[in-house]
Amino acid sequence: MRKRLALFGSGRGSNGEAIYKAIKGGHIEGEIVLIMSDRPNVDIVDKGRAWQIPVYVIEPTMYAQKEDWSQAMLDVLVTYTVDGVLLAGYMRILPPTFVQAYRENILNIHPSLLPAFTGLEAQKQALVKGVKYTGCTIHFVDEGMDTGPIIAQAVVPVYEDDTVDTLSTRILHEEHRIYPEAVRLFCKDALEIVESRVVIKKEATIR
Ligand code: GRF
């Protein structure tokens, strides 16, 4: 059965677009049934409308309690019988009640080789630290910040003359490659969490 996916974003939406195209190309046994954003005037919202996918803007500032914000989002997801949540440039920490409701079914992308450089400005953190390699990580979301079990990673070199922009562009190229692949495996139920590690079931192979 095709998995019903909710795509969460806060900005540009290039990872969302890479996943959308992989679905359209027949590479992923899933469909994006809704787009959720915490901001109204951002590209991912426009893209969702152009793709004719229902878009929901739920801003946490509209709620006095975190739990109410969480419940408002969960109510939407239940209506669409969502199986999986894809965070793609979603710049909020999800409340624990939300994570618990979709445990092991929320994926995130982060622009570093986790566990290094969690949080904001991961590319800048890598440049400041002077690492020679960095990259990106797809992981399941738990209650921590960028701490959940790792599904896939890609490595990119850091050059001496890199700026945040040039490094981010090199990383983004890899993000667009590995995120659709991780979603493909997720939709095939090929990802298994064993203790804190993700095991890819034998019949599935990373392409
Ligand atoms: C990406 O670099 C992603 O790793 C990070 O935020 C950025 C989102 O870009 N979490 P986009 O909105 O997918 O273009």
In this structure, which residue's CA is closest to atom 5 in ligand 1? 89
Percent of the chain whose predicted confidence (pLDDT) is above 70: 98
Q: Could you read off the pLDDT of 46-55 as tens digits, one per residue?
A: 999 999 999 9
Mean pLDDT, the chain, rounded, equals: 96
Q: Could you read off the pLDDT of 5-31 as tens digits, one per residue?
A: 999 999 999 999 999 999 999 999 999
Q: Could you read off the pLDDT of 75-127 as tens digits, one per residue?
A: 999 999 999 999 999 999 999 999 999 999 999 999 999 999 999 999 999 99
Catalytic residue among 27, 110, 139, 176: 110
| Ligand 1 atom closest to residue 15's alpha carbon, by position in its atom list | 13
Residue to mutate, 14, 15, 32, ligand 1, most ligand atoms under 8 Å from C-beta: 15
Residue ranges, comma separated, of all CATH 3.40.50.170 domains in the chain are 1-102, 108-207
In this structure, which residue's CA is closest to atom 9 in ligand 1? 89
Whether residue 110 lies in the annotated active site: yes
Q: With bands split at pLDDT 50, 70 and 90, how would you rate the model's confidence at 206?
A: low
Residue 117: what pLDDT?
Answer: 98
| Ligand 1 atom closest to residue 110's alpha carbon, by position in its atom list | 4
The two structure tokens encoding residue 143? 């209650």
Q: Which listed CATH number (3.40.50.450, 3.40.50.170, 3.30.70.3290, 3.40.50.300) goes with 1-102?
A: 3.40.50.170
The two structure tokens encoding residue 87? 């965070």
Q: How far is the CA of 99 from the centre of ligand 1 (A)?
A: 20
Our measurement of the distance from residue 142's CA atom to the centroid of its chain's CA atoms, rounded to an integer in Å, reads 13
According to CATH, the topology of domain 108-207 is: Rossmann fold (3.40.50)
